Structure 1
Amino acid sequence: MIEREAGRLVVKVPLIIANARSLLEAGCSALAEGEQIFDFSGVTEADSSAVAVMLGWLRAAPATRSTLKFAHIPTGVRSLAELYGVSELLPLA
C-alpha cells in the first residue's frame, strides 16, 4: 500500500474512496521524525478522497515531529485541491 523507498513513502495503490481509510492509517503509521516525502508517482487512479487523506496526514505529522512534502501529485488531485481552496496547504517536494 505504502512502501518506503529511497527515503520516500511511495503510494502503491489507487487514491480512491475505497482505499482512503486504510491509506490514511498506513501513512500515519509510516510517519517518523523529520521530513517525510509522500511520492504519488505510482498512483494510477485518484479521486477527491485523496485530498482528504493528504490533509489527514498533515494533521497527524506534528505528533511524530515530522514535516511532510508531497511529490508527483496527480493532476486531477491538484485541480481538486485548487477547486476546494486548499492547494496552498499541500507542501510540494
Structure 2
Amino acid sequence: MAALPPQVTLAEAGRTLFELKQALSQQAGPVVTLDAASLRVFDSSAVAVLLELRRQLRAEGKTLQVNNWPRRLEDLMGLYGVGELLAP
C-alpha cells in the first residue's frame, strides 16, 4: 500500500504527486489504496494532491481509497467543500 509522507505542503506537493502516482500505478485492481496515517504537517496542497490523484485514477477507471485520515485533513476538506469526493 502506498502512503502519504509526513509532510505535504506547497513545497512538497509536486514531488509528492509524482511519487504517489508512481507508487499507485503499481497497484492492480479497481480500488487503489493510500495510507494517510503518517501525514502530520500539511496545508491545502495535500487536498490538491489527493484530488489530482483521484482525477487521474478515475480516468483509468479506478477508485482511490484513503485510509487512516488525520482528523484535521477531513476538516480541511470539509472547509473546501470537497469532503464527499474523498470521504473516508
Question: Structure 2: how far apart are the matches of 1:58 and 1:14?
Answer: 19
- What TM-score results when the alignment is normalised by the length of structure 2? 0.83
Q: Match of 2:80?
A: 84
CA contact (8 A) 1:46 1:76 kept: no
The 5-angstrom pairing of residues 16-55 of structure 1 reads 16-32=9-25, 33-34=28-29, 35-55=31-51
Q: 2: CA distance between counterparts of 1:40 and 1:18?
A: 18
How far does the alpha carbon of each residue in 1:56-81 deviate from its partner, in whole angstroms, 9 at most, with x for none? 00011134443210112222211111
Per the normalisation by structure 1, the TM-score is: 0.79
Distance 1:18 1:9 in 2: 20
1:18-55 deviation digits (Å, cap 9, x = unpaired): 11011111111222332211111111211111110000
Contact 1:36/1:69 (<8 A) preserved:
yes
Matching residue within 62, 70, 74 for 1:74: 70
The alignment-based identity, stated in percent, is 33
Between Structure 1 and Structure 2, which shows a larger proportion of helix residues?
2
Moved more, 47-56 or 11-20: 11-20
* Structure 1 moving runs of 4+ over 2 Å: 62-66
> What root-mean-square deviation, in Å, do the aligned CA atoms of Structure 1 and Structure 2 show?
1.6
State the match for 2:3 in structure 1: 10
